[in-house]
Amino acid sequence: MDDGVDILMMASTTTMKSFVSKTSSSSALRNTKKSSSSKRVFSVRAKAGQSEMGTPFSTWVLQQEMKDNIDNEHAIVLQSISVACKQIASLVQRAGLAGMTGLAGEQNVQGEDQKKLDVISNDVFCDTLRLSGRTGVIASEEEDVPVAVEETYGGNYVCVFDPLDGSSNIDAAVSTGSIWGIYAGDSQCVPDFSSESPAEVEAKCVQNVCQPGENLVSAGYCMYSSSTILVISVGDGVFGFTLDSAVGEFIMTHERIQIPKSGKIYSFNEGNYDMWTPGLKQYMDSLKTGGKETGTKPYSARYIGSLVGDFHRTMLYGGIYGYPGDAKNPTGKLRLLYECAPMSFLAEQAGGAGSDGTGRVLKINPEKVHQRVPFFTGSVEEVAYLESFMK
């Protein structure tokens, strides 16, 4: 067994023990969030200043509830998402064996070919969120319009997601990922199935979904790669959890991720260079002579073509990821709601930045559900340098 596996196994064993010993009190805490015993358990850990590394995801979610970072309903939505991610991870791993590669034979509303796994992953995400009973409206990259969850199951939260981003990579077994963002529902805008027409319900769903990223209450992604890693923020730092398939649980492996302030890696589809603005071309050229420190080592290019993989690397190593607008697609390719806003939320929580080239992505008020925006994210100094060429 190599060291990495060894460490993970040890972490799982230790944390599973603490998980088991806390489970009985944790489930009681769900309904009595402010009980004195729950506060005591949490404050002992906090005072001890212990590292949270090795904490199982489900325990971490309960701790966020005890800290008042999230409420009980939000906690249930996050647990449901982690279950959906485990199911998709298993599907992605088996895709080649189970005949799930290739096209489903349909296009989504944006005119993109749907892969079989896009469709299946969308069903997994939708069903899991519906059955959680805590989401009122869900909006997916794969659906034409946001959907109100049936009244019997309805809850307060609005969840926007791209169930399997980067799926054009699937047949080559390259990294893919799920991305999601969670908003509190608009209390002035609750769909009423008994008295409203389907068109009225739909209009209310769109209004619930079209919120600026700065309203996000949490966001995250799960990367399906050599390991399955779930990265999340509930507005108090960014944490990463690696799936330990031996116990079927995400275990904390990245505590309070911080994006380096600068980094000499750029991640753009440079094949589009000819269609870029003169300012952007000038920026790109400058990276090859050291960027703002002209004459120093050139930047390195890294581009997977799968946002979650490219973003994850950028979070850990620093640098910049960009998908600009160009002469053919002035607003670029990436979707504001399912890709750019959640990733910007995570980037800012990790001390980085998310920009459309002129300002913060989180400030943008969506006008439509599948809106696209130019997107630049990563190290705060690298994003500022890029912006200086876009004025």
Angstrom distance (rounded) from CA 376 to CA 362: 12
Tokens of 343: 């990733």
Question: Is residue 168 a contact point for ligand AFP (CB under 6 A)?
Answer: yes
Q: Considering only 24-32, 166-174, 188-196, 284-292, which stretch makes contact with ligand AFP by CB under 6 A?
A: 166-174
Nearer to ligand AFP, 26 or 167 (CB): 167
Which residues in the 98-117 window bind ligand AFP by CB under 6 A?
112
Nearest to 84 by CA among 150, 138, 29: 138
Residue type, 23: T
Question: Is residue 175 a contact point for ligand AFP (CB under 6 A)?
Answer: no
Tally of CA atoms within 13 A in the half-sphere of 390 that contains its CB: 19
Tokens of 242: 């690696």
Yes or no: say if 164 and 339 are a contact pair by the CB < 8 Å rule: no
Angstrom distance (rounded) from CA 248 to CA 191: 37
Q: How far is the CB of 378 from ligand AFP (least distance, A)?
A: 13
Residues whose CB falls within 8 Å of the CB of residue 10, separated by 6 or more in sequence, listed in order: none
Question: Is residue 269 a contact point for ligand AFP (CB under 6 A)?
Answer: yes
Q: Which helix (H) or strand (E) holds 317?
A: helix 307-317
Q: How far is the CB of 261 from ligand AFP (least distance, A)?
A: 23
Size of the site for ligand AFP (CB under 6 A): 13
Q: How far is the CB of 206 from ligand AFP (least distance, A)?
A: 22
Angstrom distance (rounded) from CA 65 to CA 236: 12
Question: Is residue 333 a contact point for ligand AFP (CB under 6 A)?
Answer: yes
Question: Is residue 86 a contact point for ligand AFP (CB under 6 A)?
Answer: no
Question: Is residue 165 a contact point for ligand AFP (CB under 6 A)?
Answer: yes
Q: How far is the CB of 271 from ligand AFP (least distance, A)?
A: 7
Q: Considering only 15-23, 50-58, 162-170, 380-388, which stretch makes contact with ligand AFP by CB under 6 A?
A: 162-170
Give the residues lining the site for ligand AFP (CB under 6 A): 112, 165-169, 269, 305-307, 310, 333-334
